[in-house]
């Protein structure tokens, strides 16, 4: 059976933070090196998903959150297109939690990329890191691009740490290697 969808994209989750900028930068470079499309995802979530929007009466009914979320995607798209004009870049704004969204997107991804340090504090409750949760459940390779406080997110010379789950031997192969073995 031949897959006619073309090459799987590199999927990167962005939230406008410095760690997300580092993840985007890394993803763009990998998309160029691997000749892969890039799919940029941003989630509008958190307390906004549980409570009705409260409008001031003069602004948008969602309080401007959707506009701000779209701005994160627009900035990411503009950066990716200017840094790598020869790769196909798509964006998606999803009204859902980051972990569940990225796990769904990972089903059709070459690999998934997020920035480190994306823990959130909401109403005194610490949410687990998105990267940590994805590492436990992602159906494709996951890259968590590490951040160094105060460092320029576009210039990092660091190592790569790789984790392998030996309980799933098929997970040891990239999608390219799996496709080569099936034919």
Confidence of residue 6 (pLDDT cuts 50, 70, 90): confident
Q: What are phi and psi of 127, to 5 degrees?
A: -85, 145
pLDDT at position 162: 56
Mean pLDDT of the chain: 74
Least confidently predicted of 6-15, 40-49, 87-96: 40-49
Query: How many CA atoms lie within 13 Å of 160's alpha carbon, on the beta-carbon side?
Result: 5
Neighbour order of strands in the sheet with 89-94: 89-94, 38-43, 10-13, 111-115, 142-145
Q: Which comes out higher in pLDDT, residue 43 or 156?
A: 43
pLDDT at position 45: 73
pLDDT over threshold 80, residue 25: yes
Can you give the pTM of this predicted structure? 0.72
Q: Once rounded to an integer, what is the mean pLDDT over residues 100-106? A: 92
pLDDT at position 129: 73
Q: pLDDT tens-digit profile of 122-164?
A: 333 334 577 777 878 888 888 888 766 555 544 555 555 555 5
Which CATH number describes the domain made up of 10-182? 3.40.50.620
Where along the chain do its domains lie? 10-182
Annotate the chain with three-state secondary structure: CCCCCCCCCEEEECCCCHHHHHHHHHHHHHHHHHCCCEEEEEECCHHHHCCCCCCCCCCCCCCCHHHHHHHHHHHHHHHHHHHCCCCCEEEEEECCCHHHHHHHHHCCCCEEEEECCCCEEECCEEECCHHHHHHHHCCCCEEEECCCCCCCCCCCCCCCCCCCCCCCHHHHCCHHHHHHHHC
């Amino acid at each position: 059976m031949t897959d006619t969808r073309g090459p799987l994209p590199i999927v990167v989750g962005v939230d406008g933070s410095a760690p997300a900028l580092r993840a985007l930068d890394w993803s763009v470079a990998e998309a160029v090196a691997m000749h892969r499309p890039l799919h940029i995802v941003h989630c509008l979530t958190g307390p906004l998903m549980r409570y009705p929007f409260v409008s001031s009466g003069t602004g948008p009914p969602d309080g401007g959150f959707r506009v701000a979320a779209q701005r994160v995607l627009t900035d990411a798209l503009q950066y990716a297109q200017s840094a790598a004009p020869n790769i196909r870049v798509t964006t998606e704004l999803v009204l859902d939690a980051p972990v569940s969204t990225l796990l769904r997107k990972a089903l059709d991804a070459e690999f998934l990329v997020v920035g480190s340090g994306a823990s959130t504090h909401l109403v005194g409750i610490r949410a687990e890191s998105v990267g940590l949760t994805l590492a436990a459940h992602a159906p494709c390779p996951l890259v968590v691009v590490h951040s160094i406080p105060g460092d320029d997110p576009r210039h990092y010379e660091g190592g790569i740490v790789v984790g392998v789950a030996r309980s799933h031997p098929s997970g040891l192969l990239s999608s390219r290697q799996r496709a080569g073995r099936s034919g």
